[in-house]
């Protein structure tokens, strides 16, 4: 069953001859235009296309503009990249990794145009992307069966943990390729997954100071481990090809769920995701400090409108009006007890089990006003939604990817169970 499933999946993952020819021609045309436009760089193709580990239907190509010593990525590098993006038709947007780069559309493909420094030794690495041309050389010389890397890439894509960016916090394409190098096969990687711990360490053979697994979050690793076990138990194509969320709108729980919606129109897309993640963490911490325990949370981004939707699932949205604060034991010095009493002067102070306690009224005991105050500290203007009707209107406007993420959270399903 496992071998049959893998064989069937590979038929879909492998680019057909006509697709290969089309990609080859498009890349060659783009490369000529980029090289003609660049005045300061050596222009080379990197990434999965250069390693022949790309998947059928995936139209992303990396082109690197490698600068000689004495040149600047921010000046000459971006100047060349800008000129190349214009030569490809001028349909591009600025993105950020360790430094800015441009993502340009050309003949139905997306070309990431990345400036980088050349180097002959590890000590000369000046930015994270400088290693990439050497990654291509390493994979091409060490990876025997390219299809094993294709299977790992498709598997991580299908379960939603592919990509080392701030959005995905998962497995980079290069890490997938090196897993294939280390373990030899897709199946062997899955069988080794129970031994993958967080935080993990997977040294880059090109630069051993770099940990390739550092971008993989605990959540992404947990999903990968569960998916590996589930696939080995019951192999299915579902693990490799993500599906849209079912029609209809998943239900929020009115007694425990709060939905927060805001928009970041002026930030780059990468920053929208990282700001949403850090903002959500801070909001959950701040709510917990007011005794509103957030049991689970998630967020999804509408990348077209830059709108972010957060869902917070609380233990309860309304607390008791009175709270009991634990004080010092009766055995401490008198001034410490007096200080506790003074601090809670308007509260009822009492003794229990040889300790002081104060019973006082909460300033805020309903989650919504607490969230309104907290949210203003960490986010731009936002709206709070608690009703299913209001959530329905928000959900229906989301693209498929964002709907899928919220559906999985609210339905408590795994990505391969849709």
Q: What are 22-36's pLDDT values in tens digits?
A: 999 999 999 999 999
Does this chain's domain 13-140 share its CATH topology with 143-239?
no
pLDDT of residue 119: 63
Q: Is the model's pLDDT at 197 over the cut of 80?
A: yes
pLDDT of residue 12: 97
Question: For tokens 């993105």, what's the residue?
Answer: 95
Q: Is the model's pLDDT at 124 over the cut of 80?
A: no
Residue 269: pLDDT band (50, 70, 90) is confident
The residues facing 112 across adjacent strands are 62, 103
Residue 1 gets which letter from DSSP?
A: -
Q: Is the model's pLDDT at 327 over the cut of 60?
A: yes
**Mean pLDDT calculated for residue range 286-314:** 97
> What's the token pair of residue 20?
């290969």
Residue 6: pLDDT band (50, 70, 90) is very high
Nearest-angstrom CA–CA distance, 190 and 343: 57
Q: Domains of the chain: which residue ranges? A: 13-140, 143-239, 257-318+365-417, 322-361
Residue 203 has, within 13 A of its CA and on its CB side, a CA count of 5
By the 8 A CB rule, do 71 and 77 touch?
yes
Nearest 10 degrees: Cα torsion 370, 372, 377, 382: 150
Nearest to 79 by CA among 41, 133, 43, 42: 41
Query: Which tens digits make up the pLDDT trace of 38-82?
Result: 999 999 999 999 999 999 999 999 999 999 778 888 999 999 999
Task: Give the least confident one: 13-22, 205-214, 291-300.
Answer: 205-214
Nearest-angstrom CA–CA distance, 71 and 235: 51
Nearest-angstrom CA–CA distance, 399 and 16: 29
Q: Is CATH 3.30.460.10 what the domain over 13-140 is classified as, yes or no?
A: yes
Beta strand residue intervals within 250-293, DSSP E: 257-263
Nearest-angstrom CA–CA distance, 365 and 278: 25
Cα–Cα distance list, 140 to 49, 58, 212, 329 (Å): 11, 20, 18, 68
Average pLDDT value for the chain: 94
pLDDT of residue 301: 97
Across the chain, how many H-helices and E-strands are there? 14, 14
Q: Which CATH number fits domain 257-318+365-417: 3.40.50.2300, 3.30.70.260, 3.30.70.250, 3.40.50.720?
A: 3.30.70.260
Strand order in the sheet with 348-352: 322-329, 355-361, 348-352
Helix (H) or strand (E) holding 294: strand 294-302
Question: Helix 146-158 crosses helix 2-13 at what angle (to 10 degrees)?
Answer: 90
Nearest-angstrom CA–CA distance, 368 and 372: 6
Q: Output helix, strand, coil percentages for the chain, rounded to the nearest 5.
A: 45, 20, 30
Query: Which tens digits make up the pLDDT trace of 129-142?
Result: 788 888 999 999 99
Residue 37: pLDDT band (50, 70, 90) is very high
pLDDT of residue 121: 41
Residue 122: pLDDT band (50, 70, 90) is very low
Residue 346: pLDDT band (50, 70, 90) is confident
Query: Which tens digits make up the pLDDT trace of 360-416?
Result: 999 999 999 999 999 999 998 999 999 999 999 999 999 999 999 999 999 999 999
pLDDT of residue 270: 82
Cα–Cα distance list, 271 to 215, 218, 264, 281, 382 (Å): 16, 21, 9, 15, 18
pLDDT of residue 323: 93
Nearest-angstrom CA–CA distance, 103 and 93: 5
Q: Is the model's pLDDT at 123 over the cut of 70?
A: no
Cα–Cα distance list, 47 to 39, 59, 417 (Å): 23, 12, 31
State phi, psi for 310 to the nearest 5 degrees: -110, 140
Residue 128: pLDDT band (50, 70, 90) is low
Preceding peptide of 199 cis, ω within 30°: yes
Tell me the percentage of the chain whose pLDDT exceeds 70: 97
**What kind of fold does domain 143-239 have according to CATH?**
Poly(a)-polymerase, middle domain (1.10.1410)
């Amino acid at each position: 069953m496992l071998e049959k499933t893998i064989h069937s999946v590979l038929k879909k993952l492998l680019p057909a001859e006509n697709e290969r020819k089309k990609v080859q021609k498009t890349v060659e045309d783009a490369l000529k235009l980029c090289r003609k436009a660049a005045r300061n760089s050596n222009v080379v193709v990197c990434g999965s296309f250069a390693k022949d580990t790309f998947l059928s239907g995936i139209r992303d190509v990396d082109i690197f503009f490698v600068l000689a010593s004495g040149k600047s990525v921010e000046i000459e590098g971006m100047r060349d990249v800008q000129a190349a993006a214009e030569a490809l038709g001028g349909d591009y947007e600025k993105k950020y990794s360790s430094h800015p780069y441009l993502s340009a559309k050309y003949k139905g493909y997306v070309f990431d145009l990345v400036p980088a420094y050349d180097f002959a030794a590890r000590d000369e690495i000046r930015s994270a992307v400088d290693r990439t041309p050497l990654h291509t050389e390493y994979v091409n010389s060490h990876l025997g069966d390219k299809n094993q890397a294709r299977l790992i890439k498709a598997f991580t894509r299908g379960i939603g943990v592919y990509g080392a960016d701030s959005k995905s916090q998962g497995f980079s394409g290069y890490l997938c390729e090196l897993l294939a190098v280390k373990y030899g096969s897709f199946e062997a990687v899955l069988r080794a997954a129970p031994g993958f711990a967080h935080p993990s360490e997977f040294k880059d053979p090109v630069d051993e100071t770099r940990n390739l697994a550092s971008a993989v979050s605990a959540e992404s690793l947990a999903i990968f481990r569960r998916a590996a076990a589930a696939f080995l138990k019951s192999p299915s194509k579902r693990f490799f090809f993500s599906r849209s969320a079912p029609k209809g709108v998943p239900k929020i729980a009115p007694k425990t769920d709060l939905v927060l919606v805001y928009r970041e129109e002026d930030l780059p897309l990468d920053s929208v995701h990282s700001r949403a993640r850090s903002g959500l963490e801070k909001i959950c911490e701040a709510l917990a400090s007011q005794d509103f325990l957030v049991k689970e949370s998630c967020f999804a981004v509408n990348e077209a409108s830059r709108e972010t939707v957060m869902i917070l699932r609380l233990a309860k949205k309304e607390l008791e009006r009175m709270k009991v604060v634990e004080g010092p034991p009766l055995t401490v010095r008198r001034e410490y007890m007096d200080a506790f009493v003074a601090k809670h002067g308007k509260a009822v102070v009492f003794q229990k089990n040889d300790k002081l306690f104060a019973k006082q009224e909460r300033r805020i005991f309903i989650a919504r006003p607490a969230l309104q105050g907290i949210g203003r500290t960490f986010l731009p203007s936002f709206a709070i939604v608690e009703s299913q009707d209001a959530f329905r209107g928000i959900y229906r406007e989301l693209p498929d990817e964002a709907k899928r993420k919220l559906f999985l959270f609210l339905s408590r399903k795994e990505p391969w169970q849709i």
